Amino acid sequence: MMMVGWVLYLVGMVLLYLLARGDVDQSGGDDERVHVPVLQPAFGSRDIGGVVGLMSVLFLVTAYAVFKAEKWQAAGSVGAWVYGALAVSALAVGLGTLTRYAFASVLVPLLIYVGVSFPETVAGEMRAVSVGVVLVLAPWARGTGRCRGRCLG
């Protein structure tokens, strides 16, 4: 049963991203070069939107961190380990969103999976993931708001 849940989560995450990519990322224009210019040399591409490797790594980090959080909670580990793994997942979603707007759509299946996997303390875990993503995106949104007069590109 757990394997079926993981397969559905991963398929849903990738499909939702691909659907959102066609609608959301087309409006960006030259904004893609503004998002994370520091990552361009690291992945060897002038056009950060064409970096498939980065997006794959962020997908895998998001999924693996949630997997570890679920395993640690089932094993009865300290809450700090569980929340730390969820924070890593939120960080990966935030960095992916800075790279491609459409990566924010990964947050929907992530929150659904967290809600199903942590039924006893669902509010705390969902809040941890949401706050983590907001903390990653807040400086970018503030800077964009100052430069362009609107928070989202």
Q: In this predicted model, which residue has the larger pLDDT, 26 or 21? A: 21
End-to-end CA distance of the chain: 41
Contact assessment for residue 6 and residue 67, using Cβ atoms and an 8 Å cutoff: yes
Q: In this predicted model, which residue has the larger pLDDT, 82 or 153? A: 82
Whole-number pLDDT of residue 50: 54
**pLDDT tens readout for residues 86-140:** 999 999 999 888 887 778 888 888 888 888 888 888 788 888 888 999 999 888 8
One-letter amino acid for residue 59 of the chain = F
Whole-number pLDDT of residue 11: 76
Give the residue extent of every domain in the chain: 2-148
In the 8-state DSSP scheme, what is residue 1?
A: -
How far apart (Å, rounded) are the C-alpha atoms in residues 20 and 82?
29
